[in-house]
Structure 1
Amino acid sequence: MPDLSELNSRVHQNFEALNQAREQALLQARQLTRLCANTIRALHRSEMETAHQNLEEAGGIAAGLQNLLGNYPVLLYAGYTQDALKEYVEASLTCAIIEDAALPSPEDLKVEYSTYLNGMAEVTGELRRRCLDILRQGYSEEAERLLGWMDEIYNLLVTVDYPDALTGGLRRQTDLVRGIVERTRADLTLSLREERLQKALERALNRLPEEPLNP
């Protein structure tokens, strides 16, 4: 009879180490996702110091997660890991665009291109929300700047015409981005027209002669 005791021992050692790494990765992925959500929430509230603190902490966890799973590619490229890193990309890019700062690259964030592009696609939803918050106060050049970024993001994504197995389902995300950009452009156009109409009415009222007082 063959003796498989040595193989049995190695198999269990391997899966025990893999399981422990998985448990740690799940915990860190949840922490990373929560910090990224808090970063974006702070950005929309214009709490920039809080946003930067959360983003810095998120960066540390993202780096730790990638180091932890460096020897376990089956876990590094698992859905929950890449989803958490995608949230980190989204928070990082949203912060940079809102602050009109240089955009961090995939190499800066140490993520796969597919993860980076899917995170970038989700940035457009946050920029739309920012635009709508601005438009509550009336038309603004800042909203136009953000729309310009949304256009550029879509123009990049639409060129990445590769199988979903390689891009992580980017094609569907790109279709959603198109709808977000079109609705935002319509909102800005309506706001601009309303502002021009209001100014035209004000100019017309200023040219009207004052009514004489009744005797």
Structure 2
Amino acid sequence: MSRAVVFLLLYLIAPLVRAEKLQVALYDTDYPPYHFADSGHKGLVDELLIRFAEKYNHDIQYILVPEVRSQHLLDAGKVDVRLESEQWYRGNKQYYWSDSIAVVEDILVMPSGCHIPAIDELGGYVLMARFGYTYPEFEALFASGKLHREDFYSEIDMLSALVDMQQNQRVAVIAKNTLQWYASKNNAFKKFTVSDYSVGKAAMQLQFTYNEKGKRMSEQFNEFMKNLKSSGEFAKIESNYQ
């Protein structure tokens, strides 16, 4: 076979094996144990995306932005996918959704020694929440003005504020796994009072654009997750982030 023919074949084959670009919008702050903004660390979602890209030959390009901004970018078609829960999404647009990556359970947290009342007794309190997040259990209380909302850009900001807080009229809502991760790194975070009830539970998913690429990518990711789980590999990966 001549050299010219070899070059021609390589030229024709190259586009077929070229990695397809996948633009992913993730938080620009840490959300342990699922995601870390620092490229030197990775969370569960980060590792799954890396493995997914390797298996299907995708070139992942990360865009780290605040929660609200990531939704705007997805709707504008400037990214292909972001993190979200279909159960907690409050818009009216159509998307392709991945199967569950993890179940996120929200709890309430207050300074040590405080009593956490029932949800219907939180009138007059301030709920420390993550900016851009929706909290179905509290939206009616926000709307009525019975419960005030104070937004933070990360869970670590909320927890740090609670450590220094003397008054007991503020209560933070945070994912149980996230609190456990931070408490394992900082003894000060082990002293909080934690609610004995959940204030929300939903599947963490990938939210893909509603187009042909989004459909194809979501189907690939669901196949990828199904294979990981059936082989037992997902359980091994997940155990590294608990």
Fold similarity call, TM over 0.5: no
TM-score normalised per structure 1: 0.25
More strand as a share of residues: 2
The TM-score normalised by the length of structure 2 is 0.23
Q: Name which one, 1 or 2, has greater alpha-carbon Rg.
A: 1
**Hey, which of these two has a bigger chunk of helix by percent?**
1
